[in-house]
Amino acid sequence: MLQTDQFFEKMYADTFPEHKQHVKEHLESVIGTFHKPEAFNPVFLEKKEFDEYTREKILIQSTGGLEIPLYVLTPKLNQYAYPAVLSLHGHGYGVKEIVGLTAEGLEDEGDPGIHQHFAVKLVKKGLKVFAPEVIGMGERRLEQDQRQGKNHSCYTMSTHLLMAGKTLAGLRVFEARHLIDYISQQEDVEQGKIGIMGFSGGGLIAAYTSALDERIHSTVLCGFTNTFKGSILASDHCLCNYIPGLLNVAELPDIIGLIAPRKLFVESGKRDPIFPVDHVKQAISVLEETYGETNTPEDFAYDLFEGAHEISGRRSYDWLVRSLQHDTART
């Protein structure tokens, strides 16, 4: 008789399909699909000028009457068009955490925290940045969770979506792809030069979105790349990470590998307790092999920095800028 630990080890080993040519289709199936709205119907809420960039806040229509609060940061470089990046925050107090604001909406002059105000860092390097409020966080929490002071609504949203045969990850990926539609239509965005950067839970969204959407030219994943076995199944994570049947699709490095041969940068702290570095290295080895098979090893890079669960940016920012500003997008 199998002991409990052995049972789950065997289940993990038995889940992966021998042939993965349909991984992308299976991924889209297990995360769930949502209906697109008929129009974006952007509503402009506010605008603020800074020395190096302009920050606007707008609302974009999403599925089922939902609205996506979206910050748009545009460099003041007098260019006709800019490379663009969809910037996705993780768990915390929401999108304000990456656009230089406090939780109360004031300009943040203090410690930038683990998100490092990375949307501001990118716009100052010449990229046009689109930073949405991820559903379930910030001002998109459920009213009850806001009243109770909870910093996210992932559990309740996940359980409701699971009962309907959908997932919160799927809804977040749908909205990211919907925003790629919007970004692609902006006159001041260079066609074919759209990137995506996500941290932690935002890294999950960025990884799955880029795996499914080939319009994304360059991808930066911070504090997320690992193996399911070494991270998601080895410690307590937010329920939004768990997708029924996903192990029947592939392991995480193989899903991220769907991004190849497009450009990919992986960043992770060596002391990250929830995405352990040994399993980051395992994932990197798989990705190096994947990019070798596509004859594009130069399009995969990584940085393991001295830090914990946080953004570094010491190499990833400039890598993203170079890949979008100086490279010609593949057709």
Query: Residue 3 to residues 8, 228, 230: CA-CA distances in angstroms?
Result: 9, 21, 20
Residue 264 DSSP symbol: E
Task: Determine the pLDDT at residue 6.
Answer: 79
Position 331 in a domain = no
Position 330 in a domain = no
- Looking up residue 53, the CATH number of its domain turns out to be 3.40.50.1820
Q: Are 93 and 134 a contacting pair, CB within 8 Å?
A: no
Position 318 in a domain = yes
What pTM was estimated for this model as a whole? 0.93
Question: pLDDT tens digits, residue range 91-118?
Answer: 999 999 999 999 999 999 889 999 999 9
* Residue 316 Rama label (left phi>0; alpha psi -120 to 50; beta): alpha
Q: Sheet holding 53-61: strands in order across? A: 43-49, 53-61, 67-75, 128-132, 82-88, 189-199, 218-222, 263-269, 300-305
Longest dimension (CA), the chain: 70
Question: pLDDT tens digits, residue range 155-186?
Answer: 999 999 999 999 999 999 999 999 999 999 99
Query: Residue 36 to residues 128, 171, 212: CA-CA distances in angstroms?
Result: 24, 11, 16
Task: Determine the pLDDT at residue 21.
Answer: 55
- DSSP assignment string, 159-228: HHHHHTT--HHHHHHHHHHHHHHHHHT-TTEEEEEEEEEEETHHHHHHHHHHHH-TT--EEEEES--S-I
**pLDDT score of 1 more than 60:** no
Task: Determine the pLDDT at residue 257.
Answer: 95
**pLDDT score of 331 more than 80:** no
Long-range contacts of 149-158 (CB under 8 A, 24+ apart): 151/91, 151/92, 151/93, 152/91, 152/238, 154/91, 154/238, 154/239, 154/240, 155/238, 155/239, 157/240, 158/239, 158/240, 158/242
**pLDDT score of 280 more than 70:** yes
**pLDDT score of 196 more than 50:** yes
**pLDDT score of 14 more than 70:** no
Closest CA to 204 of 162, 240, 157: 240
Residue 268 DSSP symbol: E
- DSSP assignment string, 43-88: EEEEEEE-SSEEEEEEEEE-GGG-EEEEEEEEE-S--S-EEEEEEE
Residue 12 banded pLDDT, cuts 50, 70, 90: low
Task: Determine the pLDDT at residue 7.
Answer: 80
CA 138, 28, 91: angle at the middle one, nearest 5?
A: 20
Q: Cα(233)–Cα(275) distance, rounded to whole angstroms?
A: 11
Closest CA to 67 of 47, 46, 92, 40: 40
The one-letter code for the residue type at 141 is: R
CA 71, 174, 120: angle at the middle one, nearest 5?
A: 25
Q: Are 86 and 194 a contacting pair, CB within 8 Å?
A: yes
**pLDDT score of 84 more than 80:** yes
Query: Residue 33 to residues 107, 154, 169: CA-CA distances in angstroms?
Result: 37, 18, 10
Position 86 in a domain = yes
Distance of CA 91 to the CA centre of its chain: 12
Q: What is the mean pLDDT of the chain?
A: 94
Residue 20 banded pLDDT, cuts 50, 70, 90: very low
**pLDDT score of 210 more than 50:** yes
Q: What value does the mean pLDDT take over residues 186-203?
A: 97
Position 242 in a domain = yes
**pLDDT score of 296 more than 80:** yes
Closest CA to 311 of 241, 227, 220: 220
The one-letter code for the residue type at 232 is: I
Task: Determine the pLDDT at residue 15.
Answer: 58
Position 96 in a domain = yes
19's tokens: 């042939």
Number of domains, the chain: 1
Q: Cα(48)–Cα(56) distance, rounded to whole angstroms?
A: 6
Domain around 64 = 4-325
Position 136 in a domain = yes
Question: pLDDT tens digits, residue range 111-154?
Answer: 999 999 999 999 999 999 999 999 999 999 999 999 999 999 99
Beta-bridged to residue 86, according to DSSP, are 130, 196
Position 105 in a domain = yes
Question: pLDDT tens digits, residue range 297-317?
Answer: 999 999 999 999 999 999 999
